[in-house]
Amino acid sequence: MSNEYESNDGWGQAYKCGGIPMYPEEYHFHIDNPIEFSEDEIQDRKMRVDKFLNQYGFKLTND
């Protein structure tokens, strides 16, 4: 949710999410009108995360 700030006059809305719920609650990030990514962009991002997770012993990529 965004906080619109247009000028010194007028109103804004403050919103703070209380965090991601712990297991076993499910987490789904929602954003209005999400940006469409290409398949390549999606795979690049996934590879980046998996490479990071390798250091924890998950071995999701071959590096």
40 binds other proteins (CB under 8 A): no
| Cβ contact 61:47 at 8 Å | yes
39 binds other proteins (CB under 8 A): no
Residue type, 61: T
47 binds other proteins (CB under 8 A): no
Q: Which of 8, 38, 39, 62 binds other proteins (CB under 8 A)?
A: 8
62 binds other proteins (CB under 8 A): no
- Spatial distance between the Cα atoms of 56 and 63, rounded to a whole number of angstroms: 13
Q: Which of 43, 44, 61 is nearest to 52 (CA)?
A: 61
63 binds other proteins (CB under 8 A): no
